[in-house]
Structure 1
Amino acid sequence: MTLRICRITVENFRKFRDPVTIDGLTDGLNILIEPNEAGKSTLLEALRAAFFIHYNANTKTTKSYAPHGDKVAPKINVDFTIDNAPWSITKRFLKNPSIEVTNPHSRAQGTGAEERLHELLGSTKDAGKKSGDTNSYGILGLLWIGQTEALSVSAPDLVIRETVSSILEAEVGAVLGGPAWKRVHDRIEDQYGQFWTATGKEKGRLTEARKAAEDAQTTAAEAKARLQALEDSFFDLEQARTRLKLARRDIADETDIQARKTLEKDLETARAAAQILATRRAEKEAATGTEKALTDLRTRHQTAFTAREAAEAVLTKARDRRRTVAADVIAAREKSVRTAETLEQARLAQRQARAALTEGKNRHDALRRHKAIAAAKTRFTDLAKLEQQLQQATALSRTLIPPDALATLIKHDKKVTEAEIRVTVGATLLTLSGDTSAVTFDGQPATPGEYSLTRDITIRVGDTELRLRPPASAASAEQDLSEARRKRDQALEDFGVSTLTEARLRNDRAHEAAAECRTLAARIDAATPADDILNLKSGPQALKAFIAGLPAENTVPPTETPDLPALSKAVEQADSAFSQADGAHQSAMEALRRLETEDAPLAAAEAGAQSDLSNATAQISELEKHPDFPTLTEALAQAGKRAAEAATALEEATRNATVHDQDTILRKIATIDARARTAQETCRRLETEIAKLEGTIESEGGKGLAEREAAAREAAEASEATLHRVTEDAETIRLLRNTLEESRRETSARFTGPVAERMKRTINRLMPGSDLSFSEDLALETIVRGDMTEDCATLSRGTQEQLAILTRIAFADMLREQGLPVSLILDDPLVYSDDGRLELLTDIISDAAKRMQVILLTCRDRAFRHVTGNHVSLSIAHSETTH
């Protein structure tokens, strides 16, 4: 049985707001080549929605059918044939959902139409209730392949597996699950369930026996541990008593006590030696300080005396040198005063000449500015006229209707025309002539003439009543015409026009005004140039701001033009005289500075020598006032003797202090004390441990632990024997079950064998000499090429996609031979195929198209434009395509 899609129309479905149609689909290979984002995958999704998704489903998937931001009802119409019998399906989602399935002999709507579809196509009643679940789509769910859905080799869904199994049962001659096999299987499964879970884990009797054995082993181990603990307590008690006796012996030993008393005496001696050492060190520092102070006093007195003699010599020399330079400095100062007076007179004459030149330039600039202002006022008058014209033209240009809005007006007008044609074509025409006095239309008197009827109407002629019912399409066309006129009139009213012709005339006038605006703008730019005299920038705004800033009163222009060349020559003469006077003054100042420079170090040397002499004299006088200065020599000798005696005493005290080290003695005392504390703590701990062990022996000794341990050991051995017996029973049942399962798999292999043989004929064209292996769910599992077995899941994406397409073609052939409806749709297939395999797969798909309808949706023009087939294209049905 063949299924052929003839025509597809989609409206308000995702990106397709306006109706889109694919028409002219034929038997064999149909190729639709469109660029990315053209809506090829959307068309496949619309087909799936039409055939498999329940019309009144309110799921995330059905909500996604509506175009983004629109609240409309997605609608799909599909014309198709099954065994050359024509069928049609029209389905509407979300708003007023509906479905209608028709053929020349019958029509079904609502749930009945959905059930009719399931019967025709072999899908399940749950189709489309789960978002994106194609497993309920039946045969066509396997053969209508969307983008990326064939990038891995997967098993067919349950519906197809059951269908193929029923086909193969007749060929193989064996039926799984016969009555005898089922009785044995159920009995073994019942026994197996007493010991094992479905996943092979222990439970029931086996778990109980193992738990009982483990509990008995635990009880025996606990009894043995308690008995062993009692025996260990006797041994530990004897050991603790022995350690306690040794610890008490260590505490009673007098050796550490005597050693500590000796160390305490040594500590007192060491502290006294340290005190004497500190005293001797202080005496040494005092004697050394006195000797150093007396030595410093003598050294400073000698240094000050030497400095006074040197300062007297330098002062005498500096005074002699300054006497020779003093007369030249006085003469140079008098000359600098005279040249300064001459320079000031020349500077005054220069200022007066420059002031006269500046005043002349100002009068000259004022005259030029007056003329420039007059010209700017003239341009301002012209600018006002041009701007008025530009404002009028701009206002007219703003009445332009945007192109998209005008296109909308055109679209609405065209839809009105189309609706009027549909009303005229679909209406019922009624002509009245003669005497119509006894005739009424819906109770109103009728007059002779022609009537176009688009709705139900009651005509009464005397006592006879006639009810006319035009076709349903006429009423719909009348409603469409009314809606189209409303939209057209609303759009015309929005733009303030009454007709489309008036809108176009208004746009023509607006275009002409826009051109005039550009001309006026250029004239305004030309009428407002920049003016350097007025510091005026170009442009109308700058000119307006300048005119607005002019004072209200009229300025009087200068009456005469100044002689700028004569004024400039006077400035040059004044500058020359100033330069000569400035040169003479600078020469006098340089001579004065040179002499002052020569005199400065001499004056500084004289002042420095005088200062050094005063300081040295004052320092000598101060030092000689010191109390120790008169007897300095004798005092210095006595201080040296006392420092030597103090050093000898300090050395002796240092030797005495090093004999007994306080830190070492303190560490030895701390060690003895720590040893005593440790012995005391050991005694207390051992006494506690002995008491605890004696209590344990007293409490556990009379409980018969040996008898309890023997009884628990015997119970554990019995439980282990029971576990061994139950485990043997469980393993026997599992072996029987596994044997039965192997038999089932052998029988199942008899089913997958014919499938593999059918697939091999197709796949060998792609991989010559290869063998196939299928899983129980009829999924292609492994490929054997030569000595190498490869898991299909590890093959490249391209190879997996090619195998997935080929297995679907093989299943389609098998199902078609059994009279089931099949067709193949491939959305952007073979994207990962190289050129050689792409050519081969294209040939295989073309061969399959000789047996069934194949629809290939692709964006790869270069890869498929040469392929022989029925090349179709999208047809956009909305009216804008005509403009």
Structure 2
Amino acid sequence: MKLTRLRIEQLRQFRAPFEIRDFAPGLNLFSGPNEAGKSTLVAAIRAAFFERHRSGAVDDLRPWGDSAAAPTVELDFELGGQPCRLVKSFLARKRCELRIGTQGLDGAEAEDRLAELLGFQHAGKGASKAEHWGIPGLLWIQQGAAQELREAVGHATDHLRSALEASLGEVAASGGDDLLASVQAQRSELLTEAGGRPRGPYKDALEREAALAATLGGLDAAIAHYRQRVDALASLRRAHAADELEQPWVDCRRRQHEAAERLQAIQAQQDSLAAEGQRAEAAERRAALLRSQLEAWAREDQALAARAAAQAEALAARDAAAAPLAHWQARQEGAARELDAARAALRQARQQHARAQLARDAAAAAARAQACARQLAEAAGAREALLAVQRAAAASAIPAAELKTLRTLERQLAEVHIQRDAAATRLAWVLQADCALRLGEATLSGSGEIRLTAPASLELPGLGRLEIAPGGGSDLATLDARGDELADRRRTLLARLGLPDLAAAEARELEHSRLQQQLAAAQATLQALAPQGVDALGAEHAALQARADELARALADAGGEGAGDGGDKVSAAGPAPTAGDTPPLSVDQAEAAEQAAAHTLAAIQGERHRAQLAAADAASRLDAATRELAAARALCADPVRAARIAQSSAELTDALAERKALGARIEALQQHIAAARPDILQQDVERFRATAEELETQHRVRRDQLMRLEVELQTEGAQGLEERRAECARDHAQAARRAGELRRRAAALDLLLGLLQDKRRALTRRLQAPLQKHLNRYLQLLFPQASLEIDENLTPGPLTRGVESGDFEQLSFGAREQMGVISRLAYADLLAEAGRPTLIILDDALVHSDAERLAQMKRVLFDAATRHQILLFTCHPANWRDLGVAARSIDDLRAGAAQ
């Protein structure tokens, strides 16, 4: 089977049509980063063959978010020397069309025909699974599954056997199959096929024997346990009688009460100690209170002298604060008169300033209106220029994608010419002056060189004719066809653009770029002249002109009315200045004079207020000092105060003496209590109580056990354990005899089956020889001098290298991956010899191989590609640079399809 074309559409990330042509008959290497779509292409091929077109379990093929998509796969391939085409659509448009040579099939008939030819089957319901994939499931390796060989071979075993039998004919038949099946069936009645474990009647007999043995053992244990409890009952009776006689818990209770009495006596002394401590604390607090009272009376005597000094200071301060108050009162009256004059001058200056400001505003408004009129005219001209540039830019525009396509076509044509020149035959000649040759219709003379891309005849005068065929062969024809196709595409694109060649297109692009720059400059100019637009600028000009007219009328009105108004206001403030007087003040000067006068008045008022506050404060302090002095003198002269001082002194002496006596008694009590160790006495009480309770509990528990054990033994004595054991021993002996008979029969059948299978394996090895031959071919390229066994299920078994041997599953992950690939190549060789179709797909396989092993696997793949078509998908193209074929980038193919 040789794949020649693949086209997919609306399938996962390939929403737009995507096509790969010109598959090589041998190695085909496709590269791309993760998420480029390599595994999607493999999934498309699998779905085209494995999935029913009417299946509803292929939603994973639908592009994300596109519920109306109809994933479609088209495959062109050769099968048995005949060209075939398979077209299959899923979900929204369900159809299947198959053409084999001139025969056309569709629907389920086409799908069943493909399954029959390729060696797989369809799922009865739902999505196709590994058990349905057969030969393609073995040869089409999914990403990360190269090492999972055993299951894939198991699903393809029937097809492989049929290929072997077709190759070996009657060697695969055996007259002992019926006998082997009969022995196998009889053995299967007694033993399992996998592990040879008992089953059926043999298992039942063993289980019965084991159950009876367990019952017999249980009865023996029960009898022994019964006898042990009889002995335990005697021991309990002796211990219970001793407790009844001695009653050890009574002595513990007595000793507990004695310790508790001693502890109570010590606790009484602790209570006395606490009471004495409280009395000592009360005496201490009373002494501290008396000391604070005596200190307060001493402070009152000191305060009397301080009050007298404070009264003298307050009197002097009152006299000093009265003088400044009169001075600041006179200053305040003069400052108020100056402030009234400054305010009158400010009113006159503001009236004159208002008339001058109105004149300036009218002139400025007229100037702004004129400037806006000029800007409006310039903006209208800029807008016309912008429109002209926009029309020219639109006429010179060329789509960037089409220009890019044109450049790509030019580059590809140049590459084709280079490749054609490289593949052409180079003919160089150096002839004598009187000699000439004819090459086709051309005459060659002198010296020169020419490259031949097509067959030509070279006539040698007097000698004959040379037929020259370029060595490129089909490659030159392919390059010529490719060049013609690219030239047609270029002519079509140039005709659509209305251009003669790429240079004209690039010149138009440059002209368009220049016009775009002019357009940007014109837009910037218009934006600078009219940021809000020409219409908005016209509206602004109308508003400015109206404002200028309004200010002109206001100025004219102020010129006729200002003299009378000003005269009235000046006459109200005072006489108008004459020609010889000082010029009138400006508004700023008048405001500064008014603010200075106000500030001076405020400062003077502040100073006067502070002088008033200082005088009032001094008088208040004098009154307060006088009252405090009188109060202090009255307090110190009270006769009761002296008596209270004497009484407090006597009470302080008594309190200190009482505190000392209480301290001596407290110390004596603390020493006596410490010597008695109340904590140890408390522990003694707890220890004797716990001991007495434990002894009483043990006595009660032993009495309950004694009563319960007597009842249980009476009950068990009536169960007849000895009689039951005798019956169980008889049944166990019968079951053991039956199990022995079945054991001997199972061993005999197992032995006979082993002998028959050995004979069968000898025959199977003859069947395995062709597969072993192909497997050894590849194995020697990877592991020289190694050998790999094939089991009866045609699955790789132990691998032997030198003196070491190990099972396939014990190899490292990378080695299992490599063995999985070469095993599949051997199966492909076996199928090809039997005339079965083969196609090998490797999706990111061998990624766990080191550099040395990968180099060996490249030799293996290159060798296999001489007999099979291999599709290798990888995200590491650098690792396969020396495979012998060029990698085709998925991204480049998608870009070419988009163009």
State the TM-score bracket (shorter-chain normalisation).
0.5 to 0.7
Which of the numbers 357, 361, 382 marks the counterpart of 1:362? 357
Pairwise CA distance, 1:810: 1.6
Judge conservation of contact 1:223–1:709 (CA < 8 Å) in 2: yes
> 1:558 maps to what in 2?
555
1:235 aligns with 2:248: no
Judge conservation of contact 2:372–2:541 (CA < 8 Å) in 1: no
CA distance in structure 2 between the partners assigned to 1:226 and 1:312 by the alignment = 114
1:176-195 map, 5 Å: 178-192=177-191
What residue identity is the alignment partner of 1:847? D
1:805 aligns with 2:821: yes
Change (3 A) 1:834 1:673: closer
Judge conservation of contact 1:6–1:23 (CA < 8 Å) in 2: yes
Query: How many pairs are equivalent?
Result: 749
Q: Secondary structure at the match of 2:247?
A: helix
> 1:461 maps to what in 2?
none
Which of the numbers 621, 624, 629 marks the counterpart of 2:639? 624
1:344 aligns with 2:339: yes
> 1:465 maps to what in 2?
none
**Deviation string, structure 1 residues 107-142 (Cα, Å, up to 9, x no partner):** 555554444434433333x35856352443333332
What residue identity is the alignment partner of 2:215? D
Pairwise CA distance, 1:220: 2.5
> 2:305 maps to what in 1?
309
1:390-789 map, 5 Å: 525-528=527-530, 554-555=550-551, 556-559=553-556, 570=586, 610=626, 613-621=629-637, 623-626=638-641, 629-630=642-643, 633=646, 635=647, 639=651, 643=655, 686=699, 690=703, 693-694=706-707, 696-697=709-710, 700-701=713-714, 704=717, 708=720, 710-711=722-723, 744=757, 748=761, 751=765, 755-774=771-790, 776-781=792-797, 783-786=799-802
Q: Secondary structure at the match of 1:771?
A: strand
CA distance in structure 1 between the partners assigned to 2:801 and 2:722 by the alignment = 67
**Deviation string, structure 1 residues 83-130 (Cα, Å, up to 9, x no partner):** 424555555555675555555675555554444434433333x35856
What residue identity is the alignment partner of 1:770? A
CA distance in structure 2 between the partners assigned to 1:275 and 1:860 by the alignment = 92
1:208 aligns with 2:211: no
Pairwise CA distance, 1:755: 3.6
Change (3 A) 1:263 1:763: closer
**Deviation string, structure 1 residues 259-309 (Cα, Å, up to 9, x no partner):** 988998x6998699789969x949x958984x8777766654554344323
Report percent identity of matched pairs. 22
Judge conservation of contact 2:26–2:867 (CA < 8 Å) in 1: yes
CA distance in structure 1 between the partners assigned to 2:65 and 2:329 by the alignment = 103
Pairwise CA distance, 1:206: 0.7
Pairwise CA distance, 1:813: 1.3
> 2:140 maps to what in 1?
144
Change (3 A) 1:371 1:130: same
Judge conservation of contact 2:6–2:19 (CA < 8 Å) in 1: yes
Which of the numbers 104, 114, 117 marks the counterpart of 2:114? 117
Pairwise CA distance, 1:29: 4.5
Judge conservation of contact 1:227–1:709 (CA < 8 Å) in 2: no
What residue identity is the alignment partner of 2:222? E
Pairwise CA distance, 1:239: 1.5
> 1:814 maps to what in 2?
830
Judge conservation of contact 1:31–1:855 (CA < 8 Å) in 2: yes
Change (3 A) 1:693 1:804: closer
CA distance in structure 1 between the partners assigned to 2:269 and 2:96 by the alignment = 117
> 1:221 maps to what in 2?
221
> 2:56 maps to what in 1?
59
CA distance in structure 2 between the partners assigned to 1:86 and 1:225 by the alignment = 88
> 1:468 maps to what in 2?
none
What residue identity is the alignment partner of 2:129? D
CA distance in structure 1 between the partners assigned to 2:824 and 2:294 by the alignment = 123
Q: Secondary structure at the match of 2:66?
A: coil
CA distance in structure 2 between the partners assigned to 1:272 and 1:840 by the alignment = 100
CA distance in structure 2 between the partners assigned to 1:698 and 1:858 by the alignment = 83
Gapped regions of structure 2 (runs ≥ 5): 403-515, 563-581
Which deviates the most, 804-813 or 301-310? 301-310
Q: Secondary structure at the match of 2:191?
A: helix
RMSD across aligned positions (CA):
6.5
Pairwise CA distance, 1:210: 0.5
Pairwise CA distance, 1:209: 0.5
Change (3 A) 1:76 1:316: closer
Change (3 A) 1:753 1:235: farther
TM-score (norm 2): 0.62
Change (3 A) 1:578 1:256: closer
Change (3 A) 1:375 1:689: same
CA distance in structure 2 between the partners assigned to 1:19 and 1:320 by the alignment = 113
CA distance in structure 1 between the partners assigned to 2:614 and 2:88 by the alignment = 119
What residue identity is the alignment partner of 2:57? K
Pairwise CA distance, 1:213: 0.8
Judge conservation of contact 1:53–1:129 (CA < 8 Å) in 2: no
What residue identity is the alignment partner of 1:624? P
Judge conservation of contact 1:91–1:99 (CA < 8 Å) in 2: yes
Judge conservation of contact 1:213–1:723 (CA < 8 Å) in 2: no
What residue identity is the alignment partner of 1:766? L
Q: Secondary structure at the match of 2:225?
A: helix
CA distance in structure 2 between the partners assigned to 1:109 and 1:218 by the alignment = 73
Judge conservation of contact 1:194–1:205 (CA < 8 Å) in 2: no
CA distance in structure 2 between the partners assigned to 1:18 and 1:614 by the alignment = 113
Q: Secondary structure at the match of 1:157?
A: helix
CA distance in structure 1 between the partners assigned to 2:152 and 2:293 by the alignment = 119
Q: Secondary structure at the match of 1:852?
A: coil
Change (3 A) 1:619 1:214: same
CA distance in structure 2 between the partners assigned to 1:98 and 1:41 by the alignment = 23
1:787-866 map, 5 Å: 800-827=816-843, 841-856=857-872
**Deviation string, structure 1 residues 25-44 (Cα, Å, up to 9, x no partner):** 56445566788877665554
Change (3 A) 1:598 1:74: closer
Change (3 A) 1:60 1:127: closer
CA distance in structure 1 between the partners assigned to 2:898 and 2:677 by the alignment = 114
Gapped regions of structure 1 (runs ≥ 5): 408-513, 530-536
Q: Secondary structure at the match of 2:58?
A: helix
Pairwise CA distance, 1:211: 0.7
> 1:457 maps to what in 2?
none
CA distance in structure 2 between the partners assigned to 1:698 and 1:832 by the alignment = 75
Judge conservation of contact 1:332–1:591 (CA < 8 Å) in 2: no
What residue identity is the alignment partner of 1:137? W
**Deviation string, structure 1 residues 842-874 (Cα, Å, up to 9, x no partner):** 454343333334455667777778876799999
**Deviation string, structure 1 residues 736-783 (Cα, Å, up to 9, x no partner):** 566567654796486356644431221322333333344554344555
What residue identity is the alignment partner of 1:58? S
Change (3 A) 1:821 1:341: closer
CA distance in structure 2 between the partners assigned to 1:877 and 1:255 by the alignment = 104
Pairwise CA distance, 1:47: 4.0
Q: Secondary structure at the match of 1:150?
A: coil
CA distance in structure 2 between the partners assigned to 1:388 and 1:45 by the alignment = 60
Higher helix share: 2
Pairwise CA distance, 1:809: 1.9
Q: Secondary structure at the match of 2:868?
A: coil
Pairwise CA distance, 1:786: 5.0
